[in-house]
Structure 1
Amino acid sequence: MATAACPFASQLTNTEKLPNRPETPQAPETTENTIFTQERIDASPAITSDNPTLIHSEYDLFRQSCPLAYTTNYSGYYLLTRYADIKSAALDSTTFISSVRAVIPSDPRGLRRPPLNFDAPAHTPYRTALDRTLKPARIARLSSPLQNHAERLLAPLLENGQGNICTEFASDYAAWVETEWLNLEPETAPKLARTASDWVDAWRRMDGEKTTYYSGMLYDIARGVLADRRENPRDLEEDPASSLLAEELEEVGLVGCIRQSLVVGMVAPPLMMGGICNYLSEHQGLQQQLREDLSLIPAAIEEFVRLFSPYRGFARTVSKDTVIHGHTVKPGIPISMTYSAANRDPTVFENPHEFILNRPSIAMHMGFGRGRHRCVGQPLAKL
Structure 2
Amino acid sequence: MADLTDELEARSRHDFDPQAPETFDSAHRELGEVRSRCPVARSQEFGGFWAMLGYQELVEVITDIDRFTTTKQNAVPAFSFTGVRPPLHLDPPEHMAYRRVINRFFTPPKMRAMEPKVRQCSTELLEPLIARGDADVAVEYAQKLPAHVFAEFFNLSVETSTEIKAVSGRYVDAIQVLDHDTVKSLSGRLYEIAQDIIDARADGSYSPEEDLTAALLEAEYEGEPLPAPMILGCVRQLIVTGMVAPSVFIGNMFVHLSRDPELQELLRREPERIPAAVEEFLRLYSPYRGMARTAREDTEVGGQPIRKDDPIALVYTAANRDPRVFEDPDNFRLDRPNISDHISFGRGTHSCPGAPLARLMMRITLEEALSRSEFALTGNPGMAMWAEWGTNSVPLEFIAL
Do both proteins adopt the same fold according to a TM-score greater than 0.5, normalized to the shorter chain? yes
Q: Is residue 72 of structure 1 aligned with residue 44 of structure 2?
A: yes
Superposed displacement of residue 297, structure 1: 0.5
Q: Find the residue that maps to 2:146 and give its secondary structure.
A: helix
* Aligned residue in 1 for 2:313: 336
Aligned to 2:354: 377
Give, in whole Å, the separation in 2 of the partners of 1:112 and 1:74: 21
Q: Which range moves more in the overlay, 145-154 or 103-112?
A: 103-112
Paired with 1:167 and 1:143, the residues of 2 have a C-alpha distance of 23
Q: Is the 8 A contact 1:83 1:342 kept in 2?
A: yes
Instruction: Show the counterpart of 1:259.
Output: 236
Is the aligned partner of 1:188 residue 2:165?
Answer: no
- Return closer, same or farther for 1:327/1:242 CA change in 2, 3 Å cut-off: same
Determine if the alignment matches structure 1 residue 116 to structure 2 residue 88.
yes
Partner residue, 2:27? 55
In the other structure, the counterpart of 1:13 is: none
Bigger strand fraction: 2
| Greater mean alpha carbon deviation, residues 88-97 or residues 136-145 | 88-97
1:98-134 Cα deviation digits (max 9, x unpaired): 0111110121636442111211122111111111111
CA spacing shift, 1:238–1:94, aligned 2, 3 Å: farther
Aligned to 1:162: 134
Unpaired runs of at least 5, structure 2:
220-224, 361-401
Alpha-carbon offset, residue 47 of structure 1: 6.0
- Post-superposition CA distance 1:277-336 (Å, at most 9, x none): 011111111111111111001000000010111112521112122122334312211112
**AA aligned opposite 1:370:** R
Structure-2 residue corresponding to 1:147 = 119
Displacement of 1:377: 0.4
2:338 is equivalent to residue 366 of structure 1: no
* Letter aligned with residue 79 of structure 2: D
Structure 1 residues 255 and 91, CA, compared in 2 at 3 Å: closer, same or farther?
Answer: same
CA distance in 2, matches of 1:333, 1:110: 21
Provide the identity percentage.
34
Please say if residues 138 and 237 of structure 1, whose CA atoms lie closer than 8 Å, have aligned partners that are also in contact.
Answer: no
**Which aligned pairs between 1:195-274 and structure 2 lie closer than 5 A?**
195-247=167-219, 248-274=225-251
1:129 correspondence with 2:101: yes
**In 1, are the aligned partners of 2:289 and 2:316 still within 8 Å (CA)?**
yes
Assess, with a 3 A threshold, how the Cα gap between structure 1 residues 108 and 129 changes in structure 2: closer, same or farther: closer
In the alignment, the residues of structure 2 paired with residue 186 and residue 345 of structure 1 have an alpha-carbon distance, to the nearest angstrom, of: 40
Contact 2:17–2:45, Cα closer than 8 Å, also in 1: no
Amino acid at match of 2:74: A
Amino acid at match of 1:114: P
Structure 2 vs 1, CA of residues 325 and 367 (structure 1 numbering), >3 Å: closer, same or farther?
A: closer
Q: By how many angstroms is 1:271 displaced?
A: 0.8
Structure with bigger RCO (C-alpha 8 Å, 6+ apart): 2
Aligned-pair distance for 1:152?
Answer: 0.7
User: Secondary structure at the residue paired with 1:203?
Assistant: helix
Q: Which amino acid is 1:361 matched to?
A: N
Report the Cα distance in structure 2 between the residues aligned to 1:220 and 1:360, rounded to whole angstroms: 46
Q: Does 2:277 align with 1:305?
A: no
Decide whether aligned partners of structure 1 residues 204 and 226 sit closer, same or farther in structure 2, where only a CA change above 3 A counts: same
Alignment of 1:2-81 (within 5 A): 10=7, 23-24=8-9, 38-39=13-14, 41=15, 44-45=16-17, 48-81=20-53
The aligned amino acid for 2:227 is E
Which residues of structure 1 form unaligned runs of 5+?
A: 11-22, 28-36
CA distance in 2, matches of 1:76, 1:268: 24
| Separation in structure 1 between the aligned mates of residue 290 and residue 347 of structure 2, nearest angstrom | 11
Letter in 2 for 1:90: I
Q: 1:46 deviation in Å?
A: 5.5
Shift of 1:51: 3.4
- Tell me the SS of whatever aligns to 1:230: coil
TM-score if structure 1 supplies the norm length? 0.86
Q: CA RMSD in A?
A: 2.1
Aligned-partner Cα distance in 2 for 1:376–1:337? 17
The letter of the residue matching 1:300 is: A
- Tell me, in whole angstroms, the C-alpha distance in 2 between the residues paired with 1:128 and 1:65: 41
Q: Indicate how the Cα distance of structure 1 residues 320 and 128 shifts in structure 2: closer, same or farther if over 3 A, else same.
A: same
CA distance in structure 2 between the partners assigned to 1:193 and 1:110 by the alignment? 19
CA contact (8 A) 1:108 1:208 kept: no
Tell me by how many angstroms 1:275 deviates: 0.4
1:343 shift after superposition = 0.4
Moved more, 271-280 or 91-100: 91-100
Q: Please give the secondary structure, in 1, of the residue aligned with 2:200.
A: helix
Q: Are 2:295 and 2:307, in contact at CA under 8 Å, matched by a contact in 1? A: yes
Distance of 1:378 and 1:150 partners within structure 2: 18
Give the SS at the match of 1:360.
Answer: coil
- Match status 1:317 vs 2:290: no
Give a deviation string over 1:254-295, Cα, whole Å, max 9, x none: 111111111111101111111000111111111111111110
State the alpha-carbon separation in 1 of the partners of residues 75 and 259 from structure 2. 32
Aligned-residue offset at 1:45: 4.8
Contact 1:45 1:54 (C-alpha < 8 Å) held by counterparts: no
